[in-house]
Amino acid sequence: MLTILVVHVENHPGVLNRVASLFRRRGFNIESLAVGRTEKPGFSRMTIVVDTDEGGATRLEANLYKLVEVLQVDNLTSAAALCRDLAIIKVNLKPESRRELLELARDLGARVLRETSEYLMLEATETEDKIDSLVERLSGYGILEMARTGRVAMRY
């Protein structure tokens, strides 16, 4: 079961390493990790997705609180929360497929960032499964490059 933990930490060098090392030492693989500043200067928010059961999530939460820099841990797995991923995808562009690609991007909620004679660069901010669907649909045109963030989540 994928568990979503939101961890609020002090923004100091080495904090990300200590948090990631905690997961590694406990034998958990981080499926997704997104870290960024918060509305409060000096603090960061980590959204960590890990494959574990409820017991494992409870142990991870307890161990995270043992780290001095950790201020708060929220398990959003069963909470009413909004979850999003960001993807930037560069797709091979042939003149005969331009119109079709633009329609596909529009229908799947992607935004065109850049268009050249060789490629189309798209941005999609959606749920992970919708981005996976977009990637699958675009793969037939030839994905040249792709960058994806980890999941970010916020309680309603």
User: Which domains are delineated in the chain?
Assistant: 2-79 (3.30.70.260), 82-155 (3.30.70.1150)
Q: Which two tokens stand for residue 5?
A: 């933990």
If you average pLDDT over residues 146-156, what whole number do you get?
Answer: 95
Whether residue 124 contacts residue 147, with contact meaning beta carbons closer than 8 Å, is answered with: no
Q: What's the pLDDT tens digit per position in 124-141? A: 999 999 999 999 999 999
> What pLDDT is attached to residue 43?
98
Whether residue 147 contacts residue 114, with contact meaning beta carbons closer than 8 Å, is answered with: no
> What pLDDT is attached to residue 75?
97
Q: What's the pLDDT tens digit per position in 15-68? A: 999 999 999 999 999 999 999 999 999 999 999 999 999 999 999 999 999 999
**85 pLDDT tier (thresholds 50, 70, 90):** very high
> What pLDDT is attached to residue 54?
94
Q: What is the spatial distance between Cα 41 and Cα 80, in angstroms, rounded to a whole number?
A: 27
> What pLDDT is attached to residue 65?
98
> What pLDDT is attached to residue 5?
98
